[in-house]
Amino acid sequence: MHPVQTNRQIGLRPHPQQGKAGPGRAPGGFSLIELLAATAFVAILIVVLAMATGAMTESWRQAESRLQGHQEGRAALDFLARELAPAVVDTRMQFVVMPAAMLADAGAANVAPDTPAMLWMAPLGGRGDLRCVGYYLTRDDDRRRYELKRLFIAPDHPGGYFPRMINPANPRDPTLRTDPVSARWFLQNWDATAFDDDDPGNELAVTAAAADRVIGFWVACIDRLGAPIPWLSHDANHPSTSLQFNSAAYFHLATESPFQNGTGIAYLTDSDQQAMKANLLPAAIEVALVTVDQQVLELGLEIPAPVTVLDALNRPDLEASLAAFETQLLANNIRTARVFRTRIELINGR
């Protein structure tokens, strides 16, 4: 009788290394060197993927910041245009463009030097009630804050900052009259509290940020012939004023051809004995803004101060002003600044 065989084959011997780890080899057939190499490769791959993801995230963040800055700059300019277009003046009201430093004298903080401020009256709101409106630029280099500020005052504001237009006790009150060489009609009742918008509980504040990261602001008044109006402060007939334009000054505007001085405006002697106040608005206002991304501010790059360049006739030249500012930005390695510019036709300026 033949012997019964088991499931294993007769004569089959196990391989000396089968079923157990040999020296320097991990279970499953990988050596320690192979395992370390695979681990290192996976680690490098994770680092590369993390770097790529970080780069994409940073690129997305920068694009988002640029888009937000673009939207804020454009929205601020559009809003300014809607408020400025219906501006009005008469013998009791005034429209001025002036050095923003004059607002600092009235209590405003961190006013950007050598920049303009605009102040005017306009029928705004649901019922078209008269409002006092203004825009100016601030800069705080220590806190890296650069803002276009909007000033807005209703007649019933609790601070009493709205310009007084009537004095029932004295109809001839001289303090209520617009001045041909100053903006005191606006500024005489304003104080630091009116400009303190950092305190959320300050109900007397009349200013707020219209746009952030605005590092440049320029204004040019345009005459009826479409040319910039020379600064009032550079006219020999108004030696005592710092205003760049004043609707209550003494002047005439040309309607068909320039005057002999080559401009569309003729300033008259500063005397109510020889001429009447113009009480006229410019035909249009040209405004330019320059904004930067938040990343530029985070890098701590030096932000140059914007300056208005005047031509040979003492007219503001926005093209030259922007070109000079761009040169300064590039010299400071700021290459992502964005320019917003518009010309606003004034409904009552014709």
pLDDT greater than 90 at residue 50: no
Across the chain, mean pLDDT equals 86
Cα distance between residue 309 and residue 339, in whole Å: 17
Question: Which of the four pLDDT bands, split at 50, 70 and 90, describes residue 54?
Answer: low
**DSSP strands (E only) in the chain:** 96-99, 116-124, 129-140, 145-153, 207-212, 214-222, 245-246, 251-253, 265-267, 284-291, 338-345
Question: How far is it, in rounded angstroms, from Cα 333 to Cα 96?
Answer: 35
pLDDT at 91: 86
Residue 104 CA: distances (Å) to CA of 108, 192, 198: 4, 9, 16
The pLDDT of residue 251:
93
Q: Which neighbouring-strand residues pair with 119?
A: 96, 134
Q: How confident is the model at residue 62 (pLDDT cuts 50, 70, 90)?
A: low
Query: Residue 2: pLDDT band by 50, 70, 90 thresholds?
Result: very low
Round to whole Å and give the CA distance between 289 and 75.
12
Higher per-residue confidence, 203 vs 53: 203
289 in Cβ contact with 101 (< 8 Å):
no
- Any bridge partners for residue 129, and if so which? 124
pTM attached to this predicted model: 0.80
Handedness of CA 256, 258, 260, 265 (dihedral sign): positive
Model confidence at 276, in pLDDT bands (50, 70, 90)?
A: confident
Select the more confidently predicted residue: 273 or 7: 273
Tell me, what's the pLDDT at 11?
41
Are 253 and 189 in contact, with CB atoms under 8 Å apart?
no
| pLDDT score, position 34 | 76
Q: Which of 65-69, 180-184, 227-231, 261-265 has the highest mean pLDDT?
A: 227-231
Bridge partner residues of 319 (DSSP): none
Tell me whether strands 251-253 and 245-246 are parallel, antiparallel or unpaired: unpaired
Distance of CA 311 to the CA centre of its chain: 25
> What token pair was written down for 158?
């609790």
Looking at residue 8, what is its pLDDT? Answer: 40
Quote the pLDDT of residue 65. 53
Q: What is the pLDDT of residues 124-176, one digit of tens each?
A: 987 889 999 999 999 999 999 999 999 999 999 999 999 988 777 887 777 77
Which region among 160-169, 232-241, 338-347 has the lowest average model confidence (pLDDT)? 160-169
Q: 284 with 133: CB under 8 angstroms? A: no
Beta-bridge partners for 251:
267
Per the listing, tokens 């014709």 go with 350
Question: How far is residue 151's CA from residue 157's CA, in Å, rounded to a whole number?
Answer: 12
Rounded CA gap, 263 and 223, in Å? 9
